[in-house]
């Protein structure tokens, strides 16, 4: 049996040491040199270039798809927030679409919540106290005032919403940079795009507050306060403070009257057509379930059972009418008076943020139950 020549053994040893890239490159170069015509060499070069570009695109696409692996823990972690004390469930105003997170602003980590409208943040190695613009919550730590009604609840709400969060701080050129206590005056944006100043007012934990000159979002904040007052949310509830700024424990609770049973509306005929059109939008009964809000940025629909009986949502459909798409995740049983949020389950985003996108809610028989005009 013949043995391989030393030159052949040397070549085999070199091939074993080479990686796949070196072998592929050598194969390509040999193929180009073996072509006798210019056209053949050109085709070989072109095929190799195409293969290289395809490999580069595959690698770039993989890195982009898994970009979350390269983000810092601050931007990828989302801690569950503790529950803050709340009053009875009430319909709350939707976040207005005019509140859009600006770009290019400072980011900071909330290290402490002093009270309902004052926090401490850390950014750039410096710790700063921040007073939220446009909102005033009942006092809990004022040096010359007693703890006010709903002050502890407001502080707990802000603490649950902001503690440990990486937030975006927005200054307002119409306001001073700092107040007389040397606190920064800022709007505070949450990672999910909500404006904390607005949320405190909308949920009934604070009052709209204008200091000397109107600020950027005053119209939206005043509308939120009006809606919270009409809904008797939080400190506006008769059984809490009834909207009064009084010391804690001195408010006289007023019993909330029992809700009058809703008259049963005549059901509309089935009109569900795959979320494309809704001829009965103007006649939507909005009962027994009403659409409280649709947070289009966060893809969350909030519903409330207005009736005195439990309502099963199994088989119901929530539609984004502009895109003719279904908001997956609606289901379960709503207790009487219960308000519940339903994040979209799976798939890509369906709600349109920058233009009108009404929502329609259908029961299991395809009848329109509620309609949300955007």
Closest by alpha carbon to 179, among 241, 129, 126, 104?
Answer: 129
**Between 64 and 26, residue with greater pLDDT:** 26
Choosing from 128, 131, 153, 208, the catalytic residue is: 131
Choosing from 41, 152, 183, 222, the catalytic residue is: 183
What sign has the CA pseudo-torsion 287, 97, 118, 190? positive
183 flagged as catalytic: yes
Q: Is the pLDDT of residue 196 over 50?
A: yes
Q: Name the burial class of residue 297, with classes exposed (0-12), middle (13-18) and buried (19+) by CB atoms within 10 angstroms of its CB.
A: middle
State the pLDDT confidence band at 130, using cuts at 50, 70 and 90. very high
Helix 20-34 crosses helix 38-65 at what angle (to 10 degrees)?
A: 160
Q: Name the burial class of residue 254, with classes exposed (0-12), middle (13-18) and buried (19+) by CB atoms within 10 angstroms of its CB.
A: exposed
**CB contact at 8 A, 110 and 164:** yes
Q: What is the DSSP letter of 177?
A: S
Q: Name the burial class of residue 83, with classes exposed (0-12), middle (13-18) and buried (19+) by CB atoms within 10 angstroms of its CB.
A: exposed
State the pLDDT confidence band at 182, using cuts at 50, 70 and 90. very high
Tell me the average pLDDT of the chain.
Answer: 81
| Average pLDDT score over residue span 47-51 | 80
CA 26 to chain centre: 53
CA torsion angle for 348, 82, 158, 149 (degrees, to 10)? 140
- Alpha-carbon gap, residue 178 to 170, rounded angstroms: 13
- Alpha-carbon gap, residue 342 to 294, rounded angstroms: 10
**Between 63 and 125, residue with greater pLDDT:** 125
CB-facing half-sphere around the CA of 103: CA atoms within 13 A: 0
**Between 34 and 218, residue with greater pLDDT:** 218
178 flagged as catalytic: no
- Alpha-carbon gap, residue 335 to 337, rounded angstroms: 6
**CB contact at 8 A, 71 and 78:** no
State the pLDDT confidence band at 24, using cuts at 50, 70 and 90. confident
Q: Is the pLDDT of residue 195 over 70?
A: yes
- Alpha-carbon gap, residue 335 to 339, rounded angstroms: 8
Q: Looking at the whole model, is its pTM more than 0.85?
A: no
pLDDT score of 76? 36
Q: Is the pLDDT of residue 23 over 50?
A: yes
36 flagged as catalytic: no
- Alpha-carbon gap, residue 224 to 32, rounded angstroms: 72
Q: What one-character-per-residue DSSP string does 265-321 give?
A: PPPPPP--SSSS--TTGGG----SEEEEEEETTTTEEEEEE-SSS-EE-TT-EEEET
- Per DSSP, helices labelled H in 66-195 are 73-76, 151-162
User: 165 is written with which tokens?
Assistant: 């969060």
Closest by alpha carbon to 329, among 356, 293, 302?
Answer: 302
pLDDT in tens, 224-278: 999 999 889 999 999 999 898 888 766 555 555 554 444 455 678 999 999 999 9
Instruction: Tell the residue number behind the tokens 């109107």, with chain if given.
Output: 214
User: 40-69 b/e with 16+ CB inside 10 Å = b?
Assistant: eeeebeeebeeeeeeeeeeeeeeeeeeeee
pLDDT in tens, 294-305: 888 888 898 988
CA torsion angle for 14, 15, 18, 20 (degrees, to 10)? 170
Cα end-to-end span (Å), the chain: 87
pLDDT in tens, 64-104: 554 443 444 343 333 343 444 444 444 444 455 456 777 78
- Alpha-carbon gap, residue 229 to 204, rounded angstroms: 7
pLDDT score of 338? 86
pLDDT in tens, 133-175: 999 999 987 777 788 999 999 999 999 999 999 999 999 999 9
User: Would you tell me how many other CB atoms lie within 10 Å of the CB of residue 294?
Assistant: 22
pLDDT in tens, 96-109: 545 677 778 889 99
């Amino acid at each position: 049996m013949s043995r391989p020549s030393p030159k052949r053994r040397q070549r085999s040893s070199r091939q074993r040491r080479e990686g796949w890239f070196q072998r592929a490159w050598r194969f390509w170069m040999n193929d180009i040199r073996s072509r006798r015509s210019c056209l053949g060499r050109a085709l070989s070069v072109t095929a190799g270039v195409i293969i290289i570009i395809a490999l580069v695109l595959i690698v770039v696409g993989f890195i982009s798809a898994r970009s979350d692996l390269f983000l810092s823990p601050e931007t990828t972690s989302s801690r569950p927030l503790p529950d803050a004390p709340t009053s009875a469930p009430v319909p709350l105003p939707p976040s207005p679409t005019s509140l859009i997170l600006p770009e290019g602003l400072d980011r900071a980590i909330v290290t402490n919540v002093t009270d309902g409208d004052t926090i401490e943040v850390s950014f750039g190695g410096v710790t700063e106290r921040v007073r939220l613009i446009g909102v005033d919550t009942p006092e809990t730590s004022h040096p010359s005032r007693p703890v006010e009604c709903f002050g502890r609840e407001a502080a707990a709400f802000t603490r649950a919403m902001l503690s440990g969060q990486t937030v975006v701080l927005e200054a307002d050129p119409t306001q001073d940079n700092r107040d007389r206590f040397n606190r920064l005056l800022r709007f505070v944006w949450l990672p999910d795009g909500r404006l904390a100043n607005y949320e405190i007012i909308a949920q009934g934990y604070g009052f709209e507050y204008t200091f000397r000159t109107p600020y950027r979002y005053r119209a939206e904040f005043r509308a939120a306060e009006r809606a919270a007052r009409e809904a008797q949310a939080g400190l506006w509830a008769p059984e809490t403070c009834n909207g009064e700024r009084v010391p804690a424990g001195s408010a006289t609770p007023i019993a909330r009257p029992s809700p009058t049973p809703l008259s049963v509306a005549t059901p509309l005929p089935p009109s569900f057509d795959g979320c494309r059109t809704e001829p009965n939008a103007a006649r939507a009964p909005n009962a027994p379930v009403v659409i409280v809000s649709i947070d289009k940025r966060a893809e969350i629909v909030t519903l409330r059972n207005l009736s005195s009986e439990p309502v099963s949502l199994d088989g119901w459909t929530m539609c984004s009418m502009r895109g003719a798409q279904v908001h997956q995740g609606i289901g379960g049983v709503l207790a009487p008076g219960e308000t519940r949020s339903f994040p979209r389950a799976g798939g890509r985003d369906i709600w349109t943020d920058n233009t009108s996108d009404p929502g329609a809610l259908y029961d299991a028989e395809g009848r329109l139950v509620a309609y949300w005009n955007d």
